[in-house]
A and B are shown apart, each in its own frame.
Chain A
Amino acid sequence: MSTKPAEALQGLRQAFADSAPADPVLRKQRERALERFMMHGFPGTREEAWRYTNLRNLTRRVFVTAGDGAISSDQLNACRIPDLQGHLLVFLDGRLQHQLSDQNLPAGLRLSHLEAQDSEDSGQTLPAFSNLNTAFNQDARLLQIDANTSVEKPLYLLFVSGQNEQPTMLHPRLEISAGTNSRINLVEHHLSLAQDENLVNSLIDINLAAGARMNHTRIQDASKKSFQICRVNVDQARDSHYTHDHICLGSALARMDIHVSLSEPGAEVELHGLMLGQGRQHMDTHTQVDHIAPLTQSRETYRCVLDGKSRGVFNGKVVVHRDAQKIEAHQASNNLLLSDQAEIDTKPELEIYADDVKCSHGATVGQLDKNALFYLLSRGIERTMARSLLVFAFADEIVAGIGEPSIRHAMEKRIVSQLPDGDRLREFV
């Protein structure tokens, strides 16, 4: 069952008519994608994948497509991670801003426009938001890392939502193709200049060739009224390694889908995530790891801290295909509820069709450890402070795993500032 609020869908058609490209081939493709989306509309809670995430608030709005925004370099400096020395690419309202971005990318790293991107012919049904992205994306980009290239400094992709009058929808699209034995650190940072009610629907496809390594850090700190939908599809070849660290702080509703296919032996993936919910925020992470080839490994750790009336959802699925022997898959979902009205729904799933496997998953839901709290109280630390300290320690397990020190520090600072008694807490951490 899908929700079909006629007005929202009508709004999408209108937006499409206004923004469709002139090129007939491209236009045709986009029309097809839009029709596929329209057939079912926005997914409803009767669908298993959206069981705990209601898109009612999203479907009540009519979004317009983005115009040409502007951002000053002062504004830019205020929102970027201060000490991160990297190759900066700035996307404002979904469009690459050449004058604000690094002009010269290092050798072996190429950024180009992404053409002909409709994958409908593959025969599989695409998720609703992927179709929506195909119908609307504006400045789709292809990032290529040449074989044997090791990019020293991180590539910093800053996605900024500008100041828009009306709720605007942005559909960033990125395809990344990492050549054999290449190495890259990718930082994806989403934020807003104003308290907008935008819809950001990102779609990122990543292909790792044999032996390629990628560290992908994603920070979502957008407006607390916005809707952040993101899908990352990763396909990994022999002996490649992909690490994903996700820090989810912003938005009214955030939904993250990561789908990793370990297609050849020796491929390894690590997924880590932290969701910090406050107020009425709703944060949802769905991961799926397909062990298609033998001798592959996956590790997942997800943590969720929920306060106020926020709600967290985690669904981690591991599928071990037939003949994918000698694989290892481990998953943990740890959740902390801080208030009476917060809610967590977690579902770690295993689907296993091979026998020589080592798989485990664990899920916990609880409150702060009473003994730890007592220890701190007994040493004269007052309750609010002690609680904040413990919450920080819980969250920091994920943050501490981020490889790039400048991001780690920025995130620790950011989390501390969100906790009660944060100013004083800084002395401790």
Chain B
Amino acid sequence: MASDNPEFEQLVNRGYAHGFVTDIDSDTIPPGLNEDVIRMISAKKKEPEFLLNWRLRAYEHWLTMKEPNWAHLHHTPIDYQAISYFSAPKSRDDAPKSLDEVDPKLLETYEKLGIPLHERARLAGVAVDAVFDSVSVATTFKGKLAKAGVIFCSFSEAVQLHPELIERYLGKVVPYTDNYFATLNSAVFTDGSFVFIPKGVRCPLELSTYFRINAANTGQFERTLIVAEEGSHVSYLEGCTAPMRDENQLHAAVVELIAMDDAEIKYSTVQNWYPGDEEGRGGIYNFVTKRGDCAGRNSKISWTQVETGSAITWKYPSCILRGDNSVGEFYSVAVTNNMQQADTGTKMVHIGKNTSSTIVSKGISAGRAQSSYRGLVQVMAGAEGARNHTQCDSLLMGDKCGAHTFPYIEVKNPSARVEHEATTSKIGEDQLFYCRQRGISEEDAVNMIVNGFCKEVFKELPMEFAVEAQNLLCVSLEGAVG
């Protein structure tokens, strides 16, 4: 593949200005980050010039930035030169050959989540070539979408097929100068999803990364862009309840949503990456920038997330409410157990008139985990009649965990109404007693109470997801009681 492209060949043979020589036989770039690596990623993906330039500008800017330290998180410093920024599909040789070789603990979890047998193999990374049903499912699925005029493909595909759309919308919501991790992503992102819903179309299906065939290898720097034109509607699902096998420790994704007049985007996430072992070794660092731009009148963007995985979660899905009467929503459940740390929340920036936003955040901490809600509600001077309601509750399980709340409220308009409520407590002894008295085991009782605590958020998830999310919660909190 590489030899087809003389430009690329040339680039590879040039060697590194910074002293080390590359020998590229395989499709993996050795660890390290410099301009050549970015050029190489871009060349490998046959990207148009504007995109390469954009990446390089981002990289240049990244060099001037410092890693932020304001979050309530503690982790060993990340060595950005130790990461390989491009790797083609992982070698199949070191993957488990069959389910028998997979960690039995993982299988047990799949069992509890009720995942079909053939799916378990795929999720565990077993080297099997057939993608089972998904191919056929995906084909019918693609046909249906094409008929409606919806574009749904991988980001690389979109760059080849619709470069004009990418050029027009990329970085419009999250500019490459936005923050340390978004800038890094802008420089080195490898793939992701692109969704375009044309004017007046109501997307006939729930879009899910699950159905995108190449979803498995989008790598650690994912970039998602969703554009909903006037009057369109789309619901997008990201992630999967089952724990994924993944060797990349650092994840820095960027998600950009744009909603025009009367458009609606619903973005649901279930994140369950490897959280590390009980002592906090290993585990994914997840630094995500997600932002939606309610650019048009009466537009609506709704974020729903269930965060149970990752050693570190740093994530603030936000809405810029520019259009008059636009609506922003954020529903979140963040579960942290053992040594997990989560610093998550949202930003609602009210710019247009009569904009409204709702924030419901539920944090659950168990073991020695730390979970923080960090939110900003900003009402600009021109945002006549802006309305916000924030509810953020924390549930503590165990005396060594922590739950923190950092809500920022900035209001410059007297007609705005902003409300913020927060509570922190543990599971009531009386609630538990009531359940135990009726013969419900302690573990079941706790699961029931926790699910009740999260109900408000789960009801926002698409139905199948909501059921899985409940099971997921039980699995994540296993061992946290008693």
CA distance A363 to B422 in the complex (A): 9
CA distance A367 to B386 in the complex (A): 12
Q: Scoring A residues 315 to 359 as 1 if CB is less than 8 Å from chain B, else 0, what string do you get?
A: 000000011010000000001011111111111111111111111
Q: Are A352 and B403 within 8 A (Cβ)?
A: yes
Q: Are A359 and B410 within 8 A (Cβ)?
A: no
Q: Are A360 and B422 within 8 A (Cβ)?
A: yes
CA distance A323 to B399 in the complex (A): 7
Residues of B within 8 A of A108 (CB): none
CA distance A241 to B319 in the complex (A): 44
Residues of B within 8 A of A48 (CB): 70
Closest to A361 in B: B422
Residues of B within 8 A of A323 (CB): 399
CA distance A335 to B416 in the complex (A): 11
Spot the interface stretch: B352-360, B423-431, B433-441: B423-431
Q: How far is the CB of B439 from chain A (nearest CB, A)?
A: 26
Q: Are B424 and A350 within 8 A (Cβ)?
A: yes
Q: Are B426 and A355 within 8 A (Cβ)?
A: yes
Residues of B within 8 A of A362 (CB): 419-422
Q: Are B414 and A339 within 8 A (Cβ)?
A: yes
CA distance A352 to B425 in the complex (A): 10
CA distance A340 to B397 in the complex (A): 45
Q: Are A347 and B417 within 8 A (Cβ)?
A: no
Q: Are A351 and B416 within 8 A (Cβ)?
A: no
Q: Are A354 and B399 within 8 A (Cβ)?
A: yes
Residues of B within 8 A of A338 (CB): 414
Q: How far is the CB of A323 from chain B (nearest CB, A)?
A: 7
Q: Are A348 and B407 within 8 A (Cβ)?
A: yes
Chief secondary structure at chain B's binding surface: strand
Contact of B405 among A342, A344, A346, A361 (CB under 8 A): A361
Q: How far is the CB of A227 from chain B (nearest CB, A)?
A: 23
CA distance A52 to B396 in the complex (A): 32
Q: Are B414 and A359 within 8 A (Cβ)?
A: no
Q: Which residues of A355-407 have CB atoms within 8 Å of chain B's CB atoms? A: 355-367
Residues of A within 8 A of B276 (CB): none
Q: Are A347 and B416 within 8 A (Cβ)?
A: no
Q: How far is the CB of B226 from chain A (nearest CB, A)?
A: 32
Q: How far is the CB of B112 from chain A (nearest CB, A)?
A: 26
CA distance A357 to B399 in the complex (A): 10
Contact of B397 among A350, A352, A355 (CB under 8 A): A355
Q: How far is the CB of B238 from chain A (nearest CB, A)?
A: 30
Q: Are A353 and B402 within 8 A (Cβ)?
A: yes
Q: Is B92 among interface residues, defined by CB-CB distance under 8 A?
A: no
With known contacts A360-B421, A361-B422, A363-B419, A347–B411 Cβ distance under 8 A: no
Q: Are B416 and A356 within 8 A (Cβ)?
A: no
With known contacts A355-B401, A365-B409, A348–B422 Cβ distance under 8 A: yes
Q: Is B45 among interface residues, defined by CB-CB distance under 8 A?
A: no
Closest to A340 in B: B414
Closest to B365 in A: A355
Closest to B406 in A: A349
With known contacts A322-B400, A337-B411, A351-B404, A359–B419 Cβ distance under 8 A: no
Q: Are A348 and B405 within 8 A (Cβ)?
A: yes
Contact of A342 among B397, B414, B421, B426 (CB under 8 A): B414
Q: How far is the CB of B302 from chain A (nearest CB, A)?
A: 23
CA distance A136 to B420 in the complex (A): 41
Q: Scoring B residues 17 to 30 as 1 if CB is less than 8 Å from chain A, else 0, what string do you get?
A: 00000000000000
Q: Are B411 and A344 within 8 A (Cβ)?
A: yes
Q: Are B394 and A347 within 8 A (Cβ)?
A: no
CA distance A349 to B422 in the complex (A): 10
Interface residue total, chain A, C-beta cutoff 8 A = 37
Q: Which residues of B384-402 have CB atoms within 8 Å of chain A's CB atoms? A: 394, 396-402
CA distance A348 to B394 in the complex (A): 15
Residues of A within 8 A of B419 (CB): 362-365
Q: Are B396 and A347 within 8 A (Cβ)?
A: no
Q: Are B418 and A363 within 8 A (Cβ)?
A: yes
Residues of B within 8 A of A353 (CB): 401-402
Q: How far is the CB of A285 from chain B (nearest CB, A)?
A: 14
Q: How far is the CB of A206 from chain B (nearest CB, A)?
A: 27
Closest to A331 in B: B422
Closest to A364 in B: B419
Closest to A306 in B: B414
With known contacts A340-B381, A352-B396, A365–B422 Cβ distance under 8 A: no
CA distance A351 to B379 in the complex (A): 25
Q: Is B415 among interface residues, defined by CB-CB distance under 8 A?
A: yes
Q: Are B420 and A357 within 8 A (Cβ)?
A: no
Closest to A350 in B: B405
Greatest chain A CB density within 10 A among B404, B411, B419, B421 is at: B411
With known contacts A340-B381, A361-B405, A365-B417, A352–B424 Cβ distance under 8 A: yes
CA distance A48 to B71 in the complex (A): 12
Q: How far is the CB of B344 from chain A (nearest CB, A)?
A: 15
Closest to B382 in A: A340
Q: Is B156 among interface residues, defined by CB-CB distance under 8 A?
A: no
Closest to A317 in B: B406
Closest to B397 in A: A355
Residues of A within 8 A of B410 (CB): 52, 343-345
Q: Are A346 and B399 within 8 A (Cβ)?
A: no
Q: Is B46 among interface residues, defined by CB-CB distance under 8 A?
A: no
Q: How far is the CB of A357 from chain B (nearest CB, A)?
A: 6
Closest to B394 in A: A352
Closest to A356 in B: B426
Q: Are B406 and A357 within 8 A (Cβ)?
A: no
Q: Is B408 among interface residues, defined by CB-CB distance under 8 A?
A: yes
With known contacts A340-B414, A364-B418, A365-B417, A349–B425 Cβ distance under 8 A: no
Q: How far is the CB of B354 from chain A (nearest CB, A)?
A: 15
Closest to A319 in B: B404
With known contacts A352-B394, A367-B414, A360–B402 Cβ distance under 8 A: no
Residues of B within 8 A of A351 (CB): 72, 402, 404-405
Residues of A within 8 A of B400 (CB): 322
Residues of A within 8 A of B408 (CB): 345, 347
Q: Are B411 and A343 within 8 A (Cβ)?
A: yes
Q: Are A358 and B402 within 8 A (Cβ)?
A: no
Residues of B within 8 A of A325 (CB): 399
Closest to B376 in A: A347
Closest to B366 in A: A355
Q: Scoring B residues 203 to 224 as 1 if CB is less than 8 Å from chain A, else 0, what string do you get?
A: 0000000000000000000000
Residues of B within 8 A of A352 (CB): 394, 396, 402-404, 424
CA distance A183 to B410 in the complex (A): 40
Residues of A within 8 A of B398 (CB): 355
CA distance A244 to B381 in the complex (A): 34
Residues of B within 8 A of A356 (CB): 399, 426
Residues of A within 8 A of B397 (CB): 355
Q: Which residues of B215-244 have CB atoms within 8 Å of chain A's CB atoms? A: none
Q: Are B415 and A367 within 8 A (Cβ)?
A: yes
Q: How far is the CB of B245 from chain A (nearest CB, A)?
A: 33
6 residue pairs from A and B, CB less than 8 Å apart: A339-B414, A345-B410, A351-B404, A362-B420, A365-B379, A365-B411
Q: 6 smallest A-B Cβ distances: which pairs? A: A355-B396, A337-B414, A363-B420, A365-B418, A359-B424, A350-B405
Residues of B within 8 A of A (CB): 70, 72, 379, 381, 394, 396-426
Not counting A340-B381, A355-B397, A359-B425, a sample of 5 additional A-B residue pairs whose C-beta atoms are within 8 angstroms of each other reads A337-B413, A345-B408, A352-B402, A363-B420, A367-B415
